Amino acid sequence: MDAPLIDPFQRAISYLRVSVTDRCDFRCVYCMAENMQFLPKKELLTLEELDRMSSAFIRLGVRKLRITGGEPLVRRDILTYFLAMSRHLDSGALDELTITTNGSQLHRFADDLAAIGIRRINVSLDTLDEEKFARVTRWGRLPQVLKGIDAAQKAGIRVKINTVALKGFNEDELFDLQAWCAARDMDLTFIEVMPMGDLGNEDRVGQYWSLKDLRRQLAERFTLTDLAERSGGPARYVRLEESGQKIGFITPLTHNFCESCNRVRLTCTGELFMCLGQEDQADLRQPLRAHPGDDAPLEAAIRGAISRKPKGHDFDYSRSEAGGQMSRHMSHTGG
């Protein structure tokens, strides 16, 4: 049982993304419906179960743990879980514990997160225009997020901004976002919008802004140098030579990043998705709850799931509709 987690394509699984809640205080148009029906509490893993589940993955070779949601910082008593995970940082079993957040609660938690051992976080931010921010998040307030970023930086946490590239929405802010991040010494990663969730009135094909085009625009103003470094995730990076700034590109559509995929996603209900863009999943909650004093069945279930990890996803916008559409919302799988 000490063998590392290796999938059928000889990729070592060392990165686990854990969604701790499906709830969020925003309703971003590409992530969830405005009137979401959230899961009943009894279906969610308790904080103690999240600890046990995460620790099992760490024993099996996971070195990086990213906590997501929904919005992870709206989960009641979430610091208890972060504190529990910090013991794996202290022991050296875990290289990194980090978070993806919308930033709304950072002003409350930044100091505690830094004290626990979180050194960097990703903040999702698609626009610096207050009115547009309210529109894309539906419920969000930009000043609250900026206050949170200030608090995180003051606490010594390295902040990276994640921006979903949305055609007709933030195309005109490309250089404003780049300059704002550079002035604050923050890296910036752009993400192509993915066909996830019940689209409703949201036109994913119409929203899609190819990062090939975005990169071309950057190259007209800056000298771009490709970087070999990877942060453990799907982003590819360049350096803007004139500013020294690092810009990332997550391109599930224009450049499939599956060949080096080292990650799986655990939902807040204990479902393990081996691929963001496939529906196959494994129920890990059942062996966890059925054997409260024995992790062997859980570890066997994890290994069985990894043995089914597919080669890649099927996202495609080359036609007039979104190919590879996933019915579940991004907030369910974990952002």
Residue with tokens 């990650």: 263
- Positive or negative torsion for Cα 29, 284, 89, 108: positive
Paired sense of beta strands 15-19 and 263-266, if any: parallel
Residues 284, 287, 292, 294: what is their CA dihedral angle, to the nearest 10 degrees? -110
Please give the CATH architecture assigned to the domain spanning 15-162+258-333. Answer: Alpha-Beta Barrel (3.20)
**Angle formed at CA 263 by CA 205 and CA 333, multiple of 5 degrees:** 50
Is 28 assigned to a binding site?
Answer: yes
Distance (Å, whole) CA 224 – CA 236: 12
Is 268 assigned to a binding site?
Answer: no
Is 29 assigned to a binding site?
Answer: no
Q: What is the pTM of this model?
A: 0.88
pLDDT for 179-234, tens place per residue? 999 999 999 999 998 664 454 445 555 678 889 999 999 999 999 999 987 766 67
pLDDT for 137-189, tens place per residue? 999 999 999 999 999 999 999 999 999 999 999 999 999 999 999 999 999 99
Asked if 264 and 276 touch (Cβ cutoff 8 Å), the reply is no
Q: What is each CA distance from 6 to 3, 9, 262, 280, in whole angstroms?
A: 9, 8, 9, 18
Is 275 assigned to a binding site?
Answer: yes
Helices then strands, counting H and E runs in the chain, come out as 11, 12
Is 100 assigned to a binding site?
Answer: yes
Is 309 assigned to a binding site?
Answer: no
Distance (Å, whole) CA 23 – CA 287: 25
Is 333 assigned to a binding site?
Answer: no
Is 124 assigned to a binding site?
Answer: yes
Is 181 assigned to a binding site?
Answer: no
- Positive or negative torsion for Cα 285, 290, 295, 300: negative
Q: Which amino acid, one-letter code, is at 238?
A: V
Is 75 assigned to a binding site?
Answer: no
Q: What is the pLDDT along the chain (335 residues), one digit of tens a residue?
A: 567 899 999 999 999 999 999 999 999 888 888 888 889 989 999 999 999 999 999 999 999 999 999 999 999 999 999 999 999 999 999 999 999 999 999 999 999 999 999 999 999 999 999 999 999 999 999 999 999 999 999 999 999 999 999 999 999 999 999 999 999 999 999 999 866 445 444 555 567 888 999 999 999 999 999 998 776 667 899 999 998 999 999 986 654 557 778 999 999 999 999 987 777 899 999 999 999 999 999 999 999 999 999 887 554 444 444 444 445 455 556 65
